[in-house]
Structure 1
Amino acid sequence: MTSISQGDMMTLDLNRPLRFEGAHFKHWKQKMSFFLPLEKVATTCITNELTTPVENPTEEEIWNHVAWTKSDFICKNIILNGLTDELYDYCNTMSITKEVWDALQKKYDTEDVGSKKTLRIL
């Protein structure tokens, strides 16, 4: 059983999830799914960008767009900071959080399915 020394405990940052390094995506995704609601930004992972009507937007529509943009910025940066440098470089070019989340799911959830098929064959 591994124990954490007091010095190591002082350096742990409990305010952010562990870094995803390309393995065990399902576990990392679950931890992010618990962490992002704590920061009140989880909905931006599953919603596309809210568009403000070009002509005569109401004050509420403007406020909703600004709030969504702020949440998306925070959520995207939390996710990007939870990635290795290589994955960060790949995902940083995406414009909204949903694109980042969907790209990671497409790449790593697919690998999980392949592993399950291999196990069934054995």
Structure 2
Amino acid sequence: MASSSSAITSLNVVPQDLSKLDRFDGNNYNRWKEKMEFILTTLKVKYVLENPCPIVPTENPTEEQLAVKRKWDEDNFFYRGNILNSLTDSLFDMYAPMKSAKEIWEVLETKYKTEDSGNKSYLVSSYFDFKMFDNMPILNQVHDLQLIVQQMKSEGIPVDEKLQVGAIIAKLPPSWKDYC
């Protein structure tokens, strides 16, 4: 009966928490991954990624062994379903045939972690190539540059505050050179 109670509690928590999670479409993998890990760790099902499915002896399995296996199977099903439901429809169709949460997680990790490194290069390039113009409000342009910095930080790319201030000053349009 206790597992039924915890399932009800989990069902009450999950839709609310997962509704805050943007559907993963192949972009911003690290952000999606962090949010997914937080939610599923909170729900105490993340262990299915680290622990293999328990093996139950074919002869004379104990009730405890059967219960542990049943719990793992239920948590794997729950984790797998939540991963799949957080994907866009096209990604869902691609990964739905996989029966293990761990298998889906590892394939996503392999595919999108590599693509995120390209995203990091793009962000760094965008930061260095950013230019400010006289015909646009300066504060809006500074805000745009700060958004790039925030994206870099969220990708784990450190940006020193002094470097950021120096970059803003260096990128000011020609009419602001006296201000520099």
**Same fold? TM cut 0.5:** yes
Q: Taking every aligned residue pair, what percent have the same amino acid on both sides? A: 37
Q: Is the 8 A contact 1:49 1:96 kept in 2?
A: no
Q: How many residues align?
A: 109
Partner of 2:24: 20
List aligned pairs for 1:1-122, cutoff 5 A: 14-16=16-18, 17-116=21-120
- 1:56 & 1:82 partners in 2: Cα distance? 40
Q: Which has the higher contact order (CA 8 A, sep 6+)?
A: 1
What stretches of structure 1 of length at least 5 have no aligned partner? 1-12
Q: Which has the larger radius of gyration?
A: 2
Q: Is the 8 A contact 1:49 1:68 kept in 2?
A: yes
- 1:51 & 1:95 partners in 2: Cα distance? 17
Q: Which has the higher helix share?
A: 2
Q: What is the CA RMSD across the aligned residues, in angstroms? A: 2.0
- Tell me the secondary structure at the aligned position of residue 83 of structure 1: coil
Deviations 1:84-104 (A, max 9, x none): 011111111111100010010
TM-score, normalising length from structure 1?
Answer: 0.78
- 1:50 & 1:89 partners in 2: Cα distance? 28
TM-score, normalising length from structure 2?
Answer: 0.55
Deviations 1:22-64 (A, max 9, x none): 1000000000111102222111133332221222222211110
- Tell me the secondary structure at the aligned position of residue 17 of structure 2: coil
